[in-house]
């Protein structure tokens, strides 16, 4: 409970520091969090006779009551506060994005090549960029840097293992490395700048070869990029993949709407920390819920771990042979799926998701890699060096 209080205080102080008219902390709201947590516990005890879980099931359920759901209450409160502050212009970005400092970083197995966002044509026409290949552009989330992020390095390796993709990371300098509220406010403008670069890219390669991926705040950035591209060209980006799109401050119909259906021809979303750091509500043409709607999937004891799982799941699915590691079924809950009440056909989540899928899909996952229930540990071990630089002189 101390951790819950700490999270509430930190986030509230973030808003206070950003607001020109700070208000005192409402400790009654904190009390409501504890009260709600107590009510959940009472409800579980009073209905204990209605189910007899396995020891593992009891641990997983208890874990979410103790560690997951209290954070969900706090997160919802923070989201409401942040949205209200943004709508009244009480929060302004500490740093206004400067497009001249943003870059696309083209990654090969051995080297990284950076090109200014506004001169993207220099990258598209460079010898390191293969116009015959598909192009994947990844935007990451809060407090990440382009050169020191596991998300980028591991996903780049997976795509390089396939060998048929130009893998590009978006270097947004320090504009999503500030306090969260400032970072959130910068997502729209950053996305607009990326959208302008995509216009140049579409003149070099077939539009159907472009795929945008975003994790956390990055999901909202690529959503804005897709909208901007559509506005400037009248055409749609073929696919956007949102990996646990960030929840706080982003609500459809408000100042910060974030990723929305229609930002691309096909939008697939993986929710790994629904209701806390990530959005719970469906946002794409197809929304996947690995581990169901619980805030913490199997193997995670923190919301940060859960939030990261989305990109880990996706990256696992990219490796050749892993396309069907995560098979999901259209359903209303993981419980119904496990009780065989969702008889529909299963489809892959991640890299190989069919672009005609619609609706909400559920699946179970493992608590450790390989996370996909149809994964193969021996196969993954054989691919540990796949996609890495073979030249010792590379960097």
More confident residue, 63 or 205: 205
pLDDT score, position 200: 86
pLDDT confidence band for 81 (50 / 70 / 90): low
Supply the pLDDT for residue 18: 39
Q: What is the pLDDT at residue 337?
A: 94
pLDDT the model gives residue 188: 84
Where a domain ends, among 55, 87, 119? 87
Q: Given this model, what pLDDT does residue 82 score?
A: 66
Residue 384: both structure tokens together: 């540990």
User: What average pLDDT score do residues 96-104 get?
Assistant: 69
Same domain as 175, residue 314: yes
Q: What is the mean pLDDT of residues 215-235?
A: 94
Residue 389 lies in a domain: no
82/196 same-domain check: no
347 and 200 within one domain: yes
Which CA distances in Å does 352 have to 19, 236, 250? Answer: 44, 20, 28
Instruction: Give the whole-angstrom CA distance, residue 301 versus residue 255.
Output: 33
pLDDT tens digit string along 152-167? 889 999 999 999 999 9
Is residue 92 in a domain?
A: no
CATH label of the domain that carries residue 266: 3.40.50.1820
- On whether both 152 and 289 belong to a single domain, the answer is yes
Give the end of a domain, one of 34, 61, 87: 87
Confidence band, pLDDT 50/70/90 cuts, at residue 301: confident
Q: Are residues 243 and 320 in the same domain?
A: yes
Active site (catalytic) residues: 216, 244, 307
Residue 94 lies in a domain: no
The answer to whether the CB of 237 falls within 8 A of the CB of 212 is yes
Q: How confident is the model at residue 291 (pLDDT cuts 50, 70, 90)?
A: very high
Is the pLDDT at 12 greater than 50? The verdict is no
3-class DSSP assignment, residue 112: strand
Per residue in 307-344, pLDDT (tens digit) is 899 999 999 999 999 999 999 999 999 999 999 999 89
Q: Quick check: 133 pLDDT over 90? A: yes
Q: For residue 394, is it within any domain?
A: no
Same domain for 58 and 78? yes
Beta strands 346-348 and 359-363 are unpaired
208 in the same domain as 70: no
Mean pLDDT of 17-27: 41
Which of 87, 112, 127 is the last residue in one of the domains? 87
Specify whether 42 is located in the same domain as 146.
Answer: no
pTM of the model: 0.79
Q: Does one domain contain both 359 and 332?
A: yes
The confidence score (pLDDT) of residue 118 equals 74
Q: Is there a single domain that holds both residue 69 and residue 130? A: no
Does residue 193 fall inside a structural domain? Answer: yes
What angle, 0 to 180 degrees and rounded to 10, lies between the N-to-C axes of helices 69-87 and 2-18? 10
- Total tally of structural domains belonging to the chain: 2
Residue 296 belongs to some domain of the structure: yes
Q: In what order do the strands lie in the sheet with 134-139?
A: 112-116, 103-107, 165-171, 134-139, 210-215, 239-243, 266-270, 286-290, 359-363, 327-330, 346-348
Q: What does pLDDT average to over the chain? A: 78
Residue 26: pLDDT above 80? no
300 shares a domain with 252: yes
- pLDDT for 124 equals 83
Alpha-carbon span 148 to 365, nearest angstrom: 28
Instruction: From 213, 212, 180, select the one nearest 198 (Cα to Cα).
Output: 212
Domain of 329?
99-382
pLDDT number for residue 243: 95
Percent of the chain with pLDDT over 70: 67
From residue 291, how far is each of 57, 113, 272, 359 by CA, in Å?
12, 38, 8, 17
pLDDT of res. 317 = 98
Residues 12 and 131 reside in one and the same domain: no
> Under a CB-based contact definition with an 8 Å cutoff, are residues 101 and 90 in contact?
no
Is residue 101's pLDDT more than 60? yes
Residue 395 lies in a domain: no
In a domain, 195, yes or no: yes
């Amino acid at each position: 409970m101390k951790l819950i209080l700490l999270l509430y205080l930190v986030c509230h102080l973030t808003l206070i520091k950003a607001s020109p008219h700070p208000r005192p902390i409402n400790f009654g709201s904190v009390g409501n969090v504890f009260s709600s947590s107590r009510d959940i516990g009472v409800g579980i005890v009073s209905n204990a006779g209605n189910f007899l879980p396995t020891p593992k099931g009891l641990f997983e359920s208890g874990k979410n009551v103790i560690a997951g759901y209290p954070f969900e209450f706090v997160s919802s409160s923070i989201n409401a506060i942040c949205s209200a502050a943004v709508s009244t212009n009480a929060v302004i970005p500490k740093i206004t994005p400067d497009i001249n400092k943003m870059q696309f970083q083209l990654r090969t197995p051995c080297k990284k090549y950076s090109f200014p966002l506004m001169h993207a044509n220099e990258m598209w026409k460079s010898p390191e960029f293969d116009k015959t290949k598909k192009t994947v552009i990844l935007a990451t989330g809060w407090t990440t840097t382009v050169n020191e992020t596991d998300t980028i390095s591991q996903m780049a390796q997976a795509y390089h293992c396939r060998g048929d993709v130009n893998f590009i990371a978006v270097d947004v300098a320090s504009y999503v490395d500030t306090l969260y509220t400032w970072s959130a406010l910068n997502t729209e403008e950053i996305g607009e700048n990326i959208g302008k670069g995509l216009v140049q890219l579409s003149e070099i390669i077939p539009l159907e070869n472009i795929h945008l991926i975003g994790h956390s705040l990055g999901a909202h950035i690529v959503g804005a990029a897709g909208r901007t591209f559509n506005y400037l060209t009248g055409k749609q980006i073929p696919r956007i993949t949102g990996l646990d799109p960030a929840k706080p401050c982003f609500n459809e119909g408000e100042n910060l709407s974030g990723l929305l259906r229609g930002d691309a021809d096909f939008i697939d979303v993986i929710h790994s920390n629904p209701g806390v750091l990530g959005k719970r509500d469906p946002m794409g043409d197809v929304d996947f819920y690995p581990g169901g709607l619980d805030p913490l999937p199997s193997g995670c004891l923190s919301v940060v771990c859960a939030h990261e799982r989305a990109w880990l799941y996706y990256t696992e699915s990219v490796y050749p042979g892993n396309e069907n590691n995560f098979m999901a079924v259209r359903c209303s809950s993981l419980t119904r799926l496990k009780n065989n009440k969702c008889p529909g056909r299963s489809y892959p989540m991640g890299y190989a998701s069919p672009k005609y899928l619609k609706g909400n899909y559920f699946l179970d996952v493992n608590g450790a890699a390989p996370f996909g229930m149809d994964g193969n540990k021996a196969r993954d071990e054989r691919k540990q060096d796949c996609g890495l630089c073979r030249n010792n002189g590379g960097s």
